[in-house]
Amino acid sequence: MLTTEIFDLLKAKFPRIAKEEGTSAVIIPKELLLEFGRFIKDAPLIFDDLHCVTAIDKKEKIDLVYIFYSNPLQHSLTLKIYLGPEDPKVESLAAIWKSANWLERETYDLFGVTFLNHPDPRRILNPYDWKGYPLRKNYSAPNFIAKPKL
């Protein structure tokens, strides 16, 4: 299915979603996430593969990005949720897609996005007692040596 077709289908079901400027991503409000996830997992869209979860720190907001892929229909979808920079919280998708478990842990580890009802809400890449969220733009570490700029 083409991206526009997917979007039209989703728009009919969830009127509050929008399309992001410049990209083909779909933006949804964060409270819709679980419902949205359950909808796209089943027919007619069958996004059976949550391919990637990540975040982008845009200073004034944090974009949470989900990339879905459908094996039988071979189409993909990029989903975005805008979160506030202070203590971002969102529902976990781990109950629907198992792959979300580790991907969300990673996002929590690096960006500090808290996933509610996550089965294993620990850090994953950094040591369990690590302080701060390294991929935030305002992060600073004690042993951080910046490359000299020319």
Partner 1 sequence: MLRSMNNIITGILSLIKGLIITFNNNFTSATTLQYPDEKKAMTERFRGLIDLYPEKCVACYQCVKACPTACLAMTHKQTDEKKKITNTFTYNIELCCFCGLCQQVCPTGAIYMNKIYEITTYERNKLYINLLNPEKYDEWPHTSPK
Partner 2 sequence: MAMMERIPAAGLIQKFPGGKFFLASSEAVLKWGKASSLWPMTFGLACCAIEMIATGASRFDIDRFGAGVFRASPRQCDVLIVAGTICVKMSDCVRRLYAQMPEPKYVMAMGNCAISGGIFYHDTYSVVKGTEALGIPVDVYIPGCPPRPENLLLGLMKLQEKILNEENANNRNI
Partner 3 sequence: MADLDIKEKKDIFTEEFLINMGPQHPSTHGVLSLELKLDGEMVLECTPHIGYLHRSFEKLAENRTYTQFIPFTDRLDYVASMNNNLGYCMAVENLLKLDITDRAKYIRVIVAELNRIASHLIAIGTFAQDLGAFATPLFYCFREREKIVDIFNEICGNRLTYNYIRIGGVQSDLPKGIEEKIKNFIKYMRSKIDEYDWLLTYNVIFLARAKNIGLLRKDIAINYSVTGPNLRASGVKRDLRKDRPYLVYDKFEFNVPVGVNGDAWDRYKVRIEEMRQSLKIVEQALGSLPQGDPTVKTGRVHKPAAGEAYFRTENPRGELGFYIVSDGSAYPYRLKIRAPSFSNLAVLPELIKDAKIADIVCISGSLDILMGEIDR
Residue of 2, 12, 43, 146 interacting with partner 2 (CB under 8 A)? 146
Nearer to partner 2, 74 or 143 (CB): 143
Judge contact between 116 and 92, C-beta under 8 A.
yes
Residue of 32, 63, 126, 136 interacting with partner 2 (CB under 8 A)? 126
Check residue 69 for interaction with partner 2 (CB under 8 A).
no
Q: How far, in Å, CA of 49 to CA of 38, rounded?
A: 12
Judge contact between 25 and 80, C-beta under 8 A.
yes
Contacting range for partner 2; rule: CB under 8 A; set: 27-35, 47-55, 61-69, 140-148:
140-148
Site size with partner 1, rule: CB under 8 A: 3
Instruction: Give SS3 for 53.
Output: strand
The token duo for 140 is 């600073």
Check residue 141 for interaction with partner 2 (CB under 8 A).
yes
Query: How many C-beta neighbours within 10 Å does residue 13 have?
Result: 12
Check residue 56 for interaction with partner 3 (CB under 8 A).
yes
Judge contact between 100 and 34, C-beta under 8 A.
no
Using alpha carbons, select from 19, 77, 25 the residue that is nearest to residue 49.
77
Check residue 114 for interaction with partner 3 (CB under 8 A).
no
Check residue 99 for interaction with partner 2 (CB under 8 A).
no
- Give min distance, CB of 149 to partner 1, in A: 9
The token duo for 43 is 């027919």
Q: What residues numbered 108-147 form the site for partner 1, per CB under 8 A?
A: 147
Check residue 67 for interaction with partner 3 (CB under 8 A).
yes
